[in-house]
Chains A and B, each alone.
Chain A
């Protein structure tokens, strides 16, 4: 990679600290006078070179959490965290914000809408290079071409002058990826990067992401609702339900031994899908922001629910390297065989 483009590269191989740690991230949206919590106390720790997945159904607050990290929330959104640690150093929210577009970049959930329709893709890539690297104009030209080739756009040289609408959805997402890689980031946040793309294209994008991650030795926060994707791409996963982390741990452990009734439900769902069975989703749906229940947020849909669950909001408690927020996790574990 080009040495002139890596201002924050120094500690990449330093394994003593996680790359980025967030403690108790909270996101809320204001609606009229109300403040609605979209994410409550989410903690993340991302090691260098690792992929951490944020998993959950639609509406669970995944994008809200991911967007908060790059200060990209909608106008009515606000966020806050108890502590932010980047490469072992406590930093403020402002300092985190200064990393965006440089050390931390983002891939949008919506590939067809993420590119500016009135500029050529080459100009859009070069613009990122212009503001976030010290490359000269001629060097930017070369680097933009390199990036297009890196994300495997066929006929890259002439395609630099094409406009976004002249590309398919999968190709557009590759260009978004090229833009996100342009400043040579140490952390890439990929928010459901294959939404709206068909299965083969989806597989290609994930293969590409995995390869690039290895080659560039970056970390990835992968937002996903599909556990199959998580199983193949991520090292750690955080399971989010209605803005709350209900379980987290290594992907191996989570898949081998899910502890939370919600995670168990999600996995079952994924298995059934895999075997082409009748879809067996968890009954009920995720509550909207203004209708979040008291006690355990999952209780209206939980098969293990007792009276306690309606009043006590369980803490995220450590359990053999995993962490789980369920009052009855012992009973649940006892009744659920290892898979």
Chain B
């Protein structure tokens, strides 16, 4: 009975905490809408020149401005744009594929980048946690030294450099057929997608595994000497209970860097995609910038910002689930 009320208490305080986190993410989200909306006015030329061409007449330009509503007051334009975004209308392509809705244009590359981020994060986390835990169990052993060298080596090289090396080794030396990737689209061809995913994901994951390993090692090592772990031990609690508590407490600081790491991996995908030729956000970003596809650029900035907010929100929530101190 008491168990049930305490479980209920826990869930209530957790829900309140999640609510607070969501509310506090809203100002950042609004800021990001300003930034993406404002892009329109800071890109040279803007949509009018993109549509009319540099040699368009004054009248042509004026007509386009009228059609696009660019003569309305700024706040009206902003609200119209936000309204569109909220109903799923991000505008249309002008140059690359005139008339195509942005949402349709971005679906596949977003998914590709999503899978790439997930795969990279999985590699970074499993590798990092495993190596970190092993070296925490036997500090200063040969394994610990080896993991230290590998960790420092991997976190001091950028992911796109690793990507180039992997591309060279597998593509040029081993002539691995999939070194140059294609579509990552799991709804079409799973095997092909996995093969396209593998090298870029390794490049991304390996580059961040080192830092995860170092933090894991430090935290798991420290937690062994915490007073409450010592107290549990001398109170004669079973070994597995003590180990479980060590993991639970040791993982907390790792969760705080989790969001940051996944964010870095997400950002890393842009360049790595370019190296391997994966049609994801990164390639699109480059093309959108080159062709002044303004609605596409706006949407990309909005998406990237929102992804960062989402990653942070999710890690905050995970932290709240694991640590009662942040809930209250």
Chain A residues near B228 (CB, 8 Å)?
113-117
Min C-beta distance of A27 to chain B, whole Å: 15
B236 touches A161 (CB 8 A): no
Q: For window 282-311 of chain A, which residues contact chain B by CB distance below 8 Å?
A: none
- Answer whether A117 and B231 are a contact pair too, CB < 8 Å, given A141-B2, A161-B5: no
B57 contacts the other chain (Cβ, under 8 Å)?
Answer: no
Chain B residues near A36 (CB, 8 Å)?
none
A131 touches B238 (CB 8 A): yes
B324 touches A122 (CB 8 A): no
B236 touches A101 (CB 8 A): yes
Q: Mark B209-243, 1 if CB is under 8 A from A, else 0.
A: 00000000000000011111011111111100100
Question: Considering only CB atoms, which chain A residue lies closest to B328 in the complex?
Answer: A166
- A122 CA to B233 CA in the complex, in Å? 18
B245 contacts the other chain (Cβ, under 8 Å)?
Answer: yes
A278 contacts the other chain (Cβ, under 8 Å)?
Answer: no
B234 touches A67 (CB 8 A): yes
A108 touches B237 (CB 8 A): no
A72 touches B6 (CB 8 A): no
Question: Considering only CB atoms, which chain A residue lies closest to B237 in the complex?
Answer: A131
Chain A residues near B328 (CB, 8 Å)?
163, 165-166
Specify the main secondary structure of chain B where it touches its partner: helix
Question: Considering only CB atoms, which chain A residue lies closest to B2 in the complex?
Answer: A141
Chain B residues near A106 (CB, 8 Å)?
231, 234-235
Q: Say which residue of B5, B227, B245, B325 sits within 8 Å of A163 (CB atoms).
A: B325
A74 contacts the other chain (Cβ, under 8 Å)?
Answer: yes
Size of the B side of the interface (Cβ < 8 Å), in residues, is: 28
B236 touches A163 (CB 8 A): no
Min C-beta distance of B285 to chain A, whole Å: 41
Chain A residues near B235 (CB, 8 Å)?
100-101, 105-106, 128, 179-180
B156 contacts the other chain (Cβ, under 8 Å)?
Answer: no
Q: Mark A159-184, 1 if CB is under 8 A from B, else 0.
A: 01101011000000000100110000
A70 contacts the other chain (Cβ, under 8 Å)?
Answer: yes
Chain B residues near A72 (CB, 8 Å)?
230, 233-234
B241 touches A70 (CB 8 A): no
- A150 CA to B9 CA in the complex, in Å? 25
- A145 CA to B314 CA in the complex, in Å? 37
- A72 CA to B236 CA in the complex, in Å? 10
Chain B residues near A113 (CB, 8 Å)?
226-228
- A114 CA to B229 CA in the complex, in Å? 8
Chain A residues near B5 (CB, 8 Å)?
161
Q: For window 41-74 of chain B, which residues contact chain A by CB distance below 8 Å?
A: none
B315 contacts the other chain (Cβ, under 8 Å)?
Answer: no
- Answer whether A132 and B245 are a contact pair too, CB < 8 Å, given A117-B323, A160-B2: no
Q: Mark B231-275, 1 if CB is under 8 A from A, else 0.
A: 111111110010001001100100000000000000000000000
B322 touches A176 (CB 8 A): no
A102 contacts the other chain (Cβ, under 8 Å)?
Answer: yes
B323 touches A118 (CB 8 A): yes
Min C-beta distance of B241 to chain A, whole Å: 7
Chain A residues near B237 (CB, 8 Å)?
101, 127-128, 131
A75 contacts the other chain (Cβ, under 8 Å)?
Answer: yes
Q: For window 1-42 of chain B, which residues contact chain A by CB distance below 8 Å?
A: 2, 5-6, 9
Q: Say which residue of A102, A110, A116, A122 sits within 8 Å of B249 (CB atoms).
A: A116
A122 touches B236 (CB 8 A): no
A120 contacts the other chain (Cβ, under 8 Å)?
Answer: yes
Min C-beta distance of B28 to chain A, whole Å: 28
Q: For window 270-324 of chain B, which residues contact chain A by CB distance below 8 Å?
A: 322-324
Chain A residues near B245 (CB, 8 Å)?
116, 118-119
A74 touches B325 (CB 8 A): no
Question: Considering only CB atoms, which chain B residue lies closest to A176 in the complex?
Answer: B231
A118 touches B249 (CB 8 A): yes
Question: Considering only CB atoms, which chain B residue lies closest to A72 in the complex?
Answer: B234
28 A/B residue pairs, CB under 8 Å, sorted by A:
A67-B234, A70-B234, A102-B236, A105-B235, A108-B227, A108-B231, A113-B226, A113-B228, A117-B323, A117-B325, A118-B245, A118-B324, A120-B6, A120-B324, A131-B236, A131-B238, A131-B241, A141-B2, A160-B2, A160-B6, A161-B2, A161-B6, A163-B324, A163-B328, A165-B328, A176-B231, A179-B231, A180-B235
User: 6 other contacts beyond A106-B234, A117-B323, with CB at 8 A cut-off?
Assistant: A72-B234, A101-B235, A102-B236, A127-B237, A127-B241, A128-B235
The 4 closest A-B pairs by CB, nearest first: A101-B236, A113-B227, A72-B234, A70-B234
